[in-house]
């Protein structure tokens, strides 16, 4: 199987996670961010992730990919209950976290930005959505304080380092991509249980953290 992704994309991380958790091999193919033709040829629009299955058919949508791969052997891993408090935490943080992440993603050495045109495509699209990256970077201190406060709230909700609710569930698939991308932001304070969970999930899922290129 092949999984077409962007390295920065949290939805792509969700799809990558299930392959690591199940220890199923997959070939990762990073699309250039300005490559509209390839995904459109495969599924009729520009989006990622896209799974090319063994029968060569294409499957888009991150959670559809997660459920497909999790059930390939009829022994699903994501059987735990979801916690409404985790869902509420995610809703709150998703309301502002892109103002921290997108300006930094635009500067990071991801393969989807390996041409100047691909990087400019990303910047133009995302600034049209959230406003000037320069302005958001100038207000980083307040946003970093906000996310550090919210991470302290999350710390109280984490039951085990290998599963946020004690048993693997969809909450893990939704939570880890945000924590992983936040390692790109220099100065964020990760409390102990959040850091242990983040690091453990990175190992379990075989998805790299971004601390080495933090901005």
Is 80 within the bounds of a domain? Answer: no
**64 & 144 share domain:** no
**120 & 59 share domain:** no
**143 & 204 share domain:** yes
pTM of the model: 0.96
For 19, list phi and psi in degrees, rounded to 5.
Answer: -65, -40
Cα–Cα distance measured from residue 73 to residue 19, given in angstroms and rounded to the nearest whole number: 12
**120 & 198 share domain:** yes
**34 & 135 share domain:** no
**192 & 104 share domain:** yes
Domain end position, chosen among 27, 42, 70: 70
Each residue's pLDDT tens digit, 88-145: 999 999 999 999 999 999 999 999 999 999 999 999 999 999 999 999 999 999 999 9
Domain end position, chosen among 28, 44, 70: 70
Percent of the chain with pLDDT over 70: 100
The neighbour count for residue 197, using CB atoms within 10 Å, is: 26
**46 & 116 share domain:** no
Count of structural domains within the chain: 2
């Amino acid at each position: 199987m092949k999984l077409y992704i962007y390295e920065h994309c949290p939805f792509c991380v969700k799809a990558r996670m299930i392959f690591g958790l199940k220890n199923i091999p997959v070939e990762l193919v990073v699309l250039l961010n300005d490559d509209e033709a390839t995904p459109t040829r495969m599924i009729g629009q520009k989006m990622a992730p896209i799974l090319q299955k063994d029968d060569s058919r294409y499957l888009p949508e991150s959670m559809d990919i997660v459920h497909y791969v999790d059930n390939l052997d009829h022994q699903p891993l994501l059987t735990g209950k979801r916690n409404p408090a985790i869902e509420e935490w995610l809703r709150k943080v998703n309301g502002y976290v892109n103002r921290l992440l997108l300006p930094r993603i635009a500067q990071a050495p991801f393969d989807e930005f390996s041409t100047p045109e691909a990087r400019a495509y990303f910047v133009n699209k995302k600034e049209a959505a959230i406003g000037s990256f320069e302005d958001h970077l100038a207000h980083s201190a307040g946003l970093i304080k906000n996310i550090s406060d919210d991470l302290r709230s999350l710390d109280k909700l984490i039951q085990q380092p290998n599963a946020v609710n004690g048993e693997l569930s969809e909450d893990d698939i939704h939570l880890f991509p945000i924590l992983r991308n936040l390692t790109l932001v220099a100065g964020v304070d990760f409390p102990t249980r959040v850091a242990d969970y983040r690091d453990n999930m990175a190992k379990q899922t075989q998805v790299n953290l971004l601390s080495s290129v933090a901005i």
